[in-house]
Amino acid sequence: MSGPRYHRTRAQDQRLVGFECTDCGWVAYPDERRTCKSCGAAPAEFEEVALATRGEIQTFVVQQYLPDDIETPQPVAVVDLPQVDGEGEAARVYGLLTESSLEEIDVGTEVDARFREMFADGTRPVNSFKFSVPRADKAGDGGDGE
């Protein structure tokens, strides 16, 4: 994880803000440049939209073999994060899952975004979002998991 790469996407890594194409409604997240990756508008105009912290798993796998600095087994999912106001398209993102087991997750399962340390860049922690099954939905667990 290089420093410059980290800085380039820091705003999106640390805030759930997407960018909606004013032509076709597709929501760019976390990348936003000057062209639309869905309809091909160039230049495209984007509007900032706030994304909800709760989304829905579209598909997932549970990885067993990863570099040493990532814990395994590691579930990773494609998650659709709707917009806060409930309008428009969802943002479709890859999300690492945390505090969740294979038995708890499926296509269609709702998950919450949680801000976590992702990796260490040298001595500096790199923070962003992971996802987990909502605590209240877990039987026998009264805590909020934070």
Partner 1 sequence: MNDAYVVGAGMIDFGEHYDQSFDDLLESAYLALLDDVDHGIDPQADIDAAWYGTIDIAGEGSSGASVAHATGLFEKPITRVENACATGSDAFRNASLAVRAGAADVALVIGAEKMLDDTAGLIGSAALERLWRGRGVTMPAYFGMRATRHMDQYDTTREQIAQVSVKNHENGTKYPHAHQQFECSVKDVTESPTVSYPLNLYDCCPVTDGACAVLVANEDRAREFTDDPIRHAGFGLSSDSFQRGGDAALTNFPASRHASRAAYEMAGIAPGDVDVAEVHDCFSITELVTYEDLGFCEEGQGGQFVEEGRSALDGDTPVNPSGGLLSKGHPIGATGVAQVAEIYEQLRGEAGDVQVDDPQVGLQHNIGIGRNATGAVSCVNVLQRP
Contact residues toward Zn ion (CB under 5 A) are: 21, 23-24, 26, 36, 38-39, 41
Q: Does 5 bind partner 1 (CB under 8 A)?
A: yes
Record the tokens describing residue 56, joined without a space: 């829905």
Strand ranges for the chain from DSSP E:
17-21, 27-28, 46-50, 54-63, 74-81, 91-96, 110-121, 124-132
Contacts of residue 4, defined as CB under 8 A and 6 or more positions apart, other chains included, come to: none
Closer residue to partner 1, CB minimum distance, 116 or 138: 116
**Which entry of partner 1, Zn ion, none binds 11, CB below 5 to 8 A by partner kind?**
none
Contacts of residue 7, defined as CB under 8 A and 6 or more positions apart, other chains included, come to: none
From the list 15, 45, 94, 124, which residue makes contact with partner 1 (rule: CB under 8 A)?
Answer: 94
Record the tokens describing residue 53, joined without a space: 């912290």
- How far apart are CB 85 and partner 1 at their closest, in Å? 18
The residues of the shown chain that bind partner 1, judged by CB under 8 A, are 1, 5-6, 9, 12-13, 26, 29-31, 37-38, 58-67, 70, 73-74, 76, 78, 89, 92-96, 102, 106-108, 118-119, 126, 128
